[in-house]
Amino acid sequence: MAADLSVVADRFGLGEITETQVITAGTMNLNWRVTTTGGVWAVKRVLDVDAAAARRQHRVTIALAERGLPVPPACTVTSAGGDTLLDLRGRLYAVTGWVAGVHRGGTMLSPAETEDLGSLLSRLQVELGRILPAVPETVREMPAEAAAAKDGIDRYAAAAAARPEPDEFDAFVIDRMTARRVLLAQVAHLRPDEDAPVGPCGWIHGDFQHLNVLYGPAGVSAVLDWDRLKPRPVAAELVRSATLLFGRPDGSLDLQRVTAFAAGYRSVRPLPDAAIVDAVGRLWWERICDTWQLRRHYERQDPSCDHLFRSAEASLAWWTSNREPVSEAFTARRQTADRHRRTPGSSSVICPGHGPTVARW
């Protein structure tokens, strides 16, 4: 791997490597903090998307940075005519300037910071719509079938029970799949309408949550990891992001912050209540039916997302008992003071051969 990083540094014109550090956060790609004589860089080995998707992301990050948003732009390979992706015998690498900052859980944010984060998500979506091709205003989304969800529940309950020496996680899975099976039978009539048009649609970041947002002294310094860039109903991202940002360890949601986040979002891009309530119901149903963490554990022998299954189960139990307050929190009107919206600072990220890209928000 050290040999690859040396080639990456050479081909991207980063300078001579003086230090490398593996970044352990994240489960999809391989990442390093690389210090060279030319600066400090974030190097990613791209594993989670193909080359075409990676290049599209890079075009988008460059365009967003040029529009003043806190997105680190992809650097270009010095000898490849502007290409932002280096292919080393099938191993794909990308580089951005390193952005200083820390991750902050959503429940650590002040009301003003929470509204700011919602407005930032909305601004990103609006700019994506200007950068990327137009998408249909509405789509029809097929919610998971209750029968297929039950099959998955039964399959993983059986897989846990069949282990020669079941451990504590297997016992937890059996218990939760038993409860999930009962819940699914009770709420099957609440499956979202598969024939109803869902929208408005647009391009979304796809994984806007605290591990992909960095904070500096003046506020958000970077929005990272654009691997899930895609067109979707925009309210779906608003709702999913809020549930990830403002969930507590016991599974409950900080509903006051949910309201502030949604209000900040809607201060930039108004969304009708009906679209948001529909997105809330669709995500709740998805959480009932989804067992992706167990697929990784039992089919791929990969326990890296076991903790996400535990937190998802706690969240689902609380959400199911509080469906009406959750929907109300997303649609409640909140007075947004004109300024508590600070005049934030800016961050500057420079790639070799380019002037500074100043990200202001």
Domain spans, the chain: 2-100+347-360, 106-142+174-331
Q: Which of 38, 352, 103 is nearest to 19 (CA)?
A: 38
pLDDT band at 78 (very low <50, low <70, confident <90, very high): confident
Q: Which two tokens stand for residue 270?
A: 């108004």
Give the pLDDT confidence score for residue 130 in this predicted structure: 97
User: Rounded to whole angstroms, how far apart are CA atoms 184 and 187?
Assistant: 5
Domain 2-100+347-360 = CATH 3.30.200.20: yes
**C-alpha–C-alpha distance, residues 279 and 85, integer Å:** 35
CA distances from 358 to 32, 63, 135 (A): 23, 12, 29
Closest CA to 143 of 294, 279, 237: 279
Average pLDDT over residues 168-189: 98
Q: Is the pLDDT of residue 277 over 50?
A: yes
Q: Is 53 exposed, middle or buried (0-12, 13-18, 19+ CB in 10 A)?
A: middle
Kindly state the average pLDDT of the residues 82-91.
Answer: 94
**Residue indicated by tokens 């015998």:** 89
Per-residue pLDDT band for 334 (boundaries 50, 70, 90) equals low
Q: Pick the range with the lowest mean pLDDT from 83-87, 176-180, 246-250, 353-357.
A: 353-357
How many Cβ atoms are within 10 Å of 319's Cβ, its own excluded? 21
What DSSP string describes 39-101? Answer: EEEEEEEE-SS-HHHHHHHHHHHHHHHHTT-S-PPBP--TTTTT---EEETTEEEEEEE----
- What tokens does 314 get? 């706690």
| Mean pLDDT of all residues belonging to the chain | 92
pLDDT for the residue numbered 359: 29
Looking at residue 68, its amino acid is: G
Spatial contact of 82 and 58, defined as CB atoms under 8 Å apart: no
Q: 7-48 pLDDT, tens per residue? A: 999 999 999 999 999 988 765 789 999 999 999 999 999 998
Q: How much is the pTM?
A: 0.90
For residue 352, what pLDDT is reported? 55
Residue 216 scores a pLDDT above 90: yes
Count of alpha carbons within 13 angstroms of residue 250, beta-carbon side: 4
Please state, for a pLDDT cut of 70, what percent of the chain lies above it: 91
State the pLDDT at residue 335: 56
312 pLDDT band, cuts 50/70/90, is: very high
Q: What does the pLDDT read at residue 29?
A: 80
Q: Does pLDDT of 338 surpass 60? A: no
Examine the pLDDT at 238 and tell me if it is beyond 80: yes
Domain 106-142+174-331 has CATH 3.90.1200.10: yes
What mean pLDDT comes out for the span 201-222? 97
Which 3 state secondary structure label does DSSP give 205? coil
Amino acid at 195: D
What is the rounded average pLDDT of the residues 288-293? 97
Least confident of 21-25, 92-96, 110-114, 284-288: 21-25
Amino acid sitting at position 350: I
